[in-house]
Amino acid sequence: MTEGEFAVLFSGDRPATVEGESTPEGPFCVVAADMVNAERYANEAVVQHPEMIARVYDRRGMVGAPLFEAHGAKANRSEISARFRRWAGGGLFGVGAALGLAEIISGFTINWAGMLAARLLPVGVVLLLTEAAIVVSARRERKRKSR
């Protein structure tokens, strides 16, 4: 990008295709010649695809806050991704359970394992339950809309 160009970064739950091309797995961007065109393109995109989020950045990229942000009516504005909730929640829960089990097997003689388990397990459970609630809610919404 050159000085004066702006990137419209798309994230959130994206449709399978945009303008006939399949969307990539991660966030993707479109470069606009000026700020007015970038804002217009971002607004048009989120109207066409209400599950997307569009953020406009200058050539410095994501160094600071976006210059402009538009989100569709159905955009998932959660700042923690589903992948993070699943991996971190599962990891914290698994490590916490293993440390708790080690503490129990040792006859409660290695106190550090129990202390860590007591702190890791609840965080893992909260992340996993949050993800489960989001998934169940999305499934209910899809079923309700298909009727």
pLDDT at residue 60 in the model: 79
Q: Which amino acid belongs to residue 72?
A: G
Which whole-number Å values give the CA distances from 143 to 60, 124, 133, 139, in the listed order? 43, 29, 15, 6
CA–CA gap between residue 59 and residue 1 (Å, rounded): 6
pLDDT tens-place string over residues 50-65: 888 889 998 878 776 7
**121 φ, ψ to 5°?**
-55, -50
pLDDT tens-place string over residues 12-25: 776 677 667 787 77
